[in-house]
Chains A and B, each alone.
Chain A
């Protein structure tokens, strides 16, 4: 059984917690031991949010050690950069939403938004950039952007597609099951 360390990162309100819940449930359904960890409390208030998801035969620490992460799923570009040092040098994957959310300190002139994010990441990792919001709008529902992102990331894990579809269908509103299934499959086809 393979071992996976996955970081899901983004900004409060982007749905990081739900995405990590779906990944953890899919891993559990697929027979892995799984632990996931994130910090609640400030997440609604525009701060950065990160979730660690680990699955393998047996998981001890719920936190991923720096230098051991297999995949970063980033819903925002600067957030991908923030956790880059967690990746396994040379063999890590970054699946990144093509989105910049500018925080208050930048508009206040106290900080600058990082430049050349994609080039920096490519120096250290395999990068897949996804224009998830645009793709989601094409499917008719901008809210399924996260499901597209999960679909892209899902190709890197040994979890059967039917397990994913079952877990997602159980967790999303009934009316959106079909569009979420399509979004997941669209993501899974992106390389």
Chain B
């Protein structure tokens, strides 16, 4: 068989890498605030993302209160409802999910997992975080700006995004949103180049690309995609700013607003949609691929079994990443673009289902004949498979152009994307945090609290989003602050909406338990030791826990095998760390 099998271990020449080139902090400020250590930057990214995520959580409560109990709450009117959904969507997709997976997990894990001392450009890495923080602050500022934040929907479609019929369209809201996005992209580019170059250039001896943990493959591929996709959003944001502030007409045709002829003319609203979705669809996978990678590592570690079909998993990640650049217009089947595009984009979209399905099969086949430990990370992994499978399958409805026609712009779409790129990746984030928390802090998170948090979150999220599909099938449109008396909507739909809202409140509240657990375990959690899960990957083999500056002490670890040597026949333990030298020529491994 191939090199990934331990039988093919080969010796690695020693190579002393002195750590002189690292920048060492001299004060508390440079160590914990303006830090150039990727681990600290990763934690800063994660905490900031979670903080802004809490804002998005509260916004989701507010919109669910409105949908479940329309015209009960006087402080929620249509403009504020649109502001809530817009800010909720944008925060979750960009400022929480993208930032947490790439900036948070990426920064913390890439150098440790590939055996590097740090990111290759630590100073740019530090700047990346501070620009991200600035982007978040600009976004938050729009809540306090005159007229409030934009209510254009997270897709920000012109012309309405910059006209007076939309909250924030003629005020500060849309300007701050576009500026914040531009800043986010600038900050991300600094971090993203770091992740890519670190993976390509700073791997330790023996860490071939095909020995890298799938977490690194997922984050690496997602970062490459983000570097290619975000510029489309960047130019879209800048062009819309020009339309709004300088009176250009990139996206603005001649139009009459409220009986008034405006000065615009000749632009194309659909051009913005192409730019937006050329970013927006890869964005789905920018969030999904790190989740795929992390789940692969969690499932393998906690099922004590090698990931099944590693090479297929790598090629599936790369293939999905490439394909995701030629499917964007499946978000635009009813946008009025040329109808022939439907044939092409439906075909490419459904083709992407094949590598995605392979990944699901391989996760299941990793469970099969495993030695499954139902730890909290493993539970979240199982929940990820359920919700991702559910959301992926409903994607086959929406991707199949003609099926999309009745369903697009309904609650079916809302349910689908929440399941597949909301709930599923967040399950992975939780699983990942419970998994790596012991490495970051040296202590385990509380198990009982973790399990309560898991069951409420998983079952609650499923109860929220599974029935929601059927509201969309019925024909309830999305982005309605209330459906009101409508001939085809039965009264029972109101009851379902109220039920969904109550569950959403409960699931949101359960996240407070998670936050409490994060803080509580910092002091009170059980001592974890260096490798509490008996994992093979390098981050668990550091000389110190939490790892010190430079990660590895005097010498970076040499790597002798792939990351999934679990349950190797004949080995003393049921795992062999990547950096453990082969015992004898014949003793370790045998044939796979």
Q: Do A and B come from one complex?
A: no
Footprint of A on B, CB under 8 Å? Answer: none
